[in-house]
Amino acid sequence: MKYKLYSSAAALGAAAAMLLSAVDMIPASAAEIGETFTDNVLTYAYVDGGVSIVGCEKSATSITIRDNISGYPILSIGESAFADCTKLTQIRFDEGIREIGDGAFTNCTGLTSVVLPDSVTSLGDAVFYSCSALTELELPDHLTELGAYTFAYCIGLKEVTLPSGLERLPGYCFYYNLSLSKVTLPENLQAIENFAFVGCYELTELNIPAAVKEIAPLSVLACAKLEAISVDEENTTYMSTEDGVLMDTKQSTLLLYPGGNPAERYTVPESVTEISYYAMSGAIHLKEIVLHDALTTIREGAFSDCLALETISLPKTITVIDNSVFADCTALQSFTIPDTITAIGEYAFYHCTALTDITIPASVASIGAYAFSDCSALKEIHVPTTVAKIGDYAFGYLAADTESDSDADADSKLVLQKDFVMQGHSRSAAKTYARKFDVKFRQTNFPIALVMGCVSGVLVIAAVVAFVLDHKKRKKLMPAAADAVDENKITDPAAIQDANYSSILGDSDEGDPFDRSYGFIIEEEDDAESLNTEPKTDAEDAVDISAEDEEQ
């Protein structure tokens, strides 16, 4: 058997004894696939065509893996085989290993250097996840496949040259590699997946090869020192501007603004109609962003984590504020929402801690969950009646660690902002939201129904009071009227009327009632004796006629 296991403190004799012990543990007859055996340091399992290392003694410090054991080729390292071997500082490989499985060296926090043999073609997910002391890494040219999180949290890794056979850079590959300052991408690389570079704070430049045809929208995030992105001139899909901004070749979509660009002001080119997902996120030096009217689409998270951003105005060509667009813009104090906006997405202004003034126009119909949560300087907001939907915790809540509140649930992420007031109509989504989430509410509409009810009540009361006063007045005047009748001997009017009619219809001593009505007497001269029969002289007739004429 040619297998040898070396320990940093072991003598040659001890190594020989271990080899003899290992030989005794190997089954003499052919074993079934999946059957395991151990040499007290490494554990093996039979696989088709050879064996795979599936475990390691946690106390091991330095290991060299040969190409075979007892004639069986060592083909692979299995899933989590060396996981949590925190004392392991060095590992060497002979040629022969082809595949290294998921999490094979996860959390080997003492491992400082790894050189993989040319025979390795595939690394699984999270192979070197959280190998925090790893500073040197050499990858073989024949390596064609990397898994997600392969080098995530390798915070000591400074430089990496990816092999020429690699065509896809997987997601989360260099997730929070805090010390990574340089990555050389292979010429044959065709795709960079989401979150490939996240939290690589020391990375200053990124060069995109000509073969790359796909760069995921979230491939580069929180790289605070990345000053510029350059693209090979022969690339037919992407290009970079003079200030190191990544765009498509038509310059219609802004794909990635380098977060470490030192400029404080940036004007989006007029050719751009779309700012892509998280395209300008983490641009820590920008204080002002100038947008133009040709812009029609701003995707999720476009300006999030722009910590210095103070001034930005949306053009009226934008109709939606997407999710997380201004999240964590902690220097933004005021913002004007244009009256073309119909919806505000989830987390749109989350943790904008300096925001003191914002007006929601009547064009807005919906506001997403957490849209204005943790805006500690925002004390009040008016929500128009056009807003029909308000998501959970959209207003009036703070992150639990931003305000001391002994009554807050320890497991709760948010606590009620006690000095926040929501204003709105009495019959609106704002009132419903305030009631549901215990937010203080101030009614802004005139309560016409209440006022009409009060007016009606006042009128009823006034009518009752007037009736009572009139009744008292009448009651007071009745005795005086009775006394006046007695004093003046006033006859009952009804009796007078009856007497008048009696005199008309029959004989009465009081005479003709017309005498009383008209003041003169009608005399009837039927008797001959009452007639004056003496003839008048002409002079008398003339006097009579002239008298009549004068009267006429």
What stretches of 163-237 adopt beta strand conformation (E)? Answer: 168-169, 174-175, 182-184, 191-192, 197-198, 205-208, 214-215, 220-221, 228-231
With cut-offs at 50, 70 and 90, classify the pLDDT of residue 520: very low
Query: Are 75 and 53 a contacting pair, CB within 8 Å?
Result: no
Output the pLDDT for position 372. 98
Of the chain, the percentage scoring pLDDT greater than 90 comes to: 70
State mean pLDDT over 356-378. Answer: 97
State mean pLDDT over 517-538. Answer: 46
Q: Is 496 helix (H, G, I), strand (E, B) or coil?
A: helix
**Maximum Cα interatomic distance, the chain, rounded to a whole number of Å:** 196
Of the chain, the percentage scoring pLDDT greater than 70 comes to: 74
Cα 522 to Cα 142, 376, 500, 516: the distances in Å are: 150, 107, 18, 12
State mean pLDDT over 105-119. Answer: 96
State mean pLDDT over 102-106. Answer: 97
CB atoms < 10 A from the CB of 266, how many? 19
Query: Are 317 and 294 a contacting pair, CB within 8 Å?
Result: yes
**Which phi and psi angles does 90 have, rounded to 5°?**
-150, 140
- The per-residue pLDDT for range 459-505, each reduced to its tens digit, is 778 777 766 676 666 666 666 655 655 555 545 555 555 555 555 45
Using the structure block, give the residue that is written with the tokens 């029959």: 506
Per-domain residue ranges of the chain: 448-490, 493-552
CB atoms < 10 A from the CB of 321, how many? 25
With cut-offs at 50, 70 and 90, classify the pLDDT of residue 238: very high
Cα separation, 471 vs 454, in Å, equals: 26
Cα separation, 376 vs 417, in Å, equals: 8
254: exposed, middle or buried (C-beta count within 10 Å: 0-12, 13-18, 19+)? buried
| pLDDT greater than 80 at residue 9 | no
Output the pLDDT for position 94. 92
Output the pLDDT for position 367. 98
- Report the relative pairing of strands 68-69 and 72-77 from DSSP bridges: antiparallel
**Residue 183 forms beta bridges with which residues?**
160
Average pLDDT, the chain: 84
- Report the relative pairing of strands 253-256 and 246-248 from DSSP bridges: antiparallel
What stretches of 42-133 adopt beta strand conformation (E)? Answer: 42-47, 50-56, 62-65, 68-69, 72-77, 90-93, 99-100, 113-115, 122-123
What sign for the dihedral angle of Cα 418, 419, 420, 424?
positive
Structure tokens at 245: 């901004």
Cα separation, 9 vs 91, in Å, equals: 15
**Which phi and psi angles does 453 have, rounded to 5°?**
-65, -40
- The per-residue pLDDT for range 309-365, each reduced to its tens digit, is 999 999 999 999 999 999 999 999 999 999 999 999 999 999 999 999 999 999 999
- The per-residue pLDDT for range 194-235, each reduced to its tens digit, is 999 999 999 999 999 999 999 999 999 999 999 999 999 999
